Amino acid sequence: MLDLLILLLMNSALCFGFWNACYYEKLTGLLRSECSGGRCHEFNDEDVKGVLWFVDKWAKDKWFYKPLCGCLPCMASFHSIYPYIVYVMYADYNILQYALFYPVYVLALSGVNYLIDRK
């Protein structure tokens, strides 16, 4: 059972990393400046994008936006499938047991992601 808890925490970190990588916010017309060490820098619209910002922009108006990259607790439904399948393939237990446990795992992952997302 400890291995499932470790999988849960690693899966939550994966969801959080993907969620941050897909960050995209368009701040039209706004420039912000930051000064440190006597040097000031201005940041424009291009500086508020994550590495996978195009995924967020592409999926913004689609029905699968929240499970893909829009809502951290909602991402548990989609981003728990592939780590869980890999785990079950290498587990020493009955596959049916893990198939029945999967909904509980998704709810637990959604709860952990909610706790991370709270501000």
Q: What is the pLDDT of residues 24-59, one digit of tens each?
A: 775 544 455 555 555 655 555 555 778 888 898 889
- If you average pLDDT over each of 33-47, 79-93, 98-112, which comes out highest? 98-112
Distance between CA atoms of 65 and 63, rounded to whole angstroms?
6
- For residue 78, how far is the Cα from the chain centroid? 10
Say what the pTM is: 0.76
Q: Coil, strand or helix: which one is 41?
A: strand
